[in-house]
Structure 1
Amino acid sequence: MERELKYVDMVEQPISMHPKKFALWLFMVTVVMLFAAWTSAYIVRQAEGNWLEYDLPEVFWITSGIVVLSSLALQWAYFSAKKDNFANLRTGMVLTVLLGIGFLVGQWYSWIALVDREVFFVGNPAGSFLYVITGMHALHLISGLLFLIIVLISTFRLKVHSQAMNTMEMATTYWHFLGGLWLYLFMFLLLNH
Structure 2
Amino acid sequence: LRRARLGLICGIATVGMVFISLTSAYIFRRGLPTFQGESNSYVRDWGSVDLPWVLLGINTVILLFSSITMELARRKAARQAALAPVSSIPGISLGDEKNFPWLGITVVLGFAFLIGQWLAWSAMHTRGFFVY
State TM-score, norm by structure 1: 0.44
Which residue does the alignment assign to 2:18?
34
Q: How many residues align?
A: 104
Q: Would you say 1:54 and 2:49 are equivalent positions?
A: yes
Superposition pairs of residues 1-193 of structure 1, within 5 angstroms: 16-18=2-4, 26-48=10-32, 49-57=44-52, 58-84=54-80, 87-88=99-100, 91-122=101-132
Task: Give SS of 2:51's match.
Answer: coil
Q: Distance in 2 between matches of 1:102 and 1:27?
A: 29
Aligned-residue Cα RMSD (Å) equals 2.8
C-alpha distance 98-27 of structure 1, shift in aligned 2 (>3 A): farther
- Structure ranking higher in strand proportion: 2
C-alpha distance 74-35 of structure 1, shift in aligned 2 (>3 A): same
Higher alpha-carbon Rg: 2
8 Å CA contact retained: 1:77, 1:93? yes
Say which is worse superposed, 101-110 or 24-33, in terms of deviation.
24-33
**65-74 vs 36-45, which moves further:** 36-45
Sequence identity of aligned pairs in percent? 33
Unmatched segments (≥5 aa) in structure 2: 33-43, 81-96
Which residues of structure 1 form unaligned runs of 5+?
A: 1-14, 123-193
CA distance in 2, matches of 1:93, 1:25: 28
How far 1:74 sits from its partner (Å)?
1.5
Q: Which has the higher helix share?
A: 1
* Secondary structure, counterpart of 1:87 in structure 2: coil
TM-score by length of 2: 0.61
Counterpart-to-counterpart distance in 2, 1:75 and 1:62: 20
